[in-house]
């Protein structure tokens, strides 16, 4: 069975990173994603599969570990 993964972007403090949207987790505003990060020790790309938060207002993905206060764009628009 072949599954088509949707190309999206993940917002990190260092900028945006291309990611693949794997699956939505019910009505939780969370999704499974896959992205690639350079390993500084080996200088090779490593695949990271994790759960990210999705903001339906701004249509962005972000990691709760990077933005514990929630969507960074919502925080900016609220003056935080």
- Tens of pLDDT, residues 4-47: 567 888 999 989 999 998 888 888 889 999 999 898 999 999 99
Closest among 30, 68, 70 to 52, alpha carbons compared: 30
Rg of the chain taking only CA atoms, in angstroms: 14
* Confidence band, pLDDT 50/70/90 cuts, at residue 1: very low
């Amino acid at each position: 069975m072949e599954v088509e993964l949707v190309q999206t972007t993940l917002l990190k403090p260092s900028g945006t990173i291309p990611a693949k949207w794997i699956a939505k987790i019910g009505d939780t505003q969370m999704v499974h994603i896959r992205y690639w990060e350079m390993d500084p020790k080996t200088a090779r790309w490593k695949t990271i599969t994790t759960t990210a938060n999705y903001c339906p207002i701004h249509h962005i993905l972000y990691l709760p570990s990077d933005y514990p206060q929630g969507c960074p764009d919502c925080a900016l628009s609220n003056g935080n």
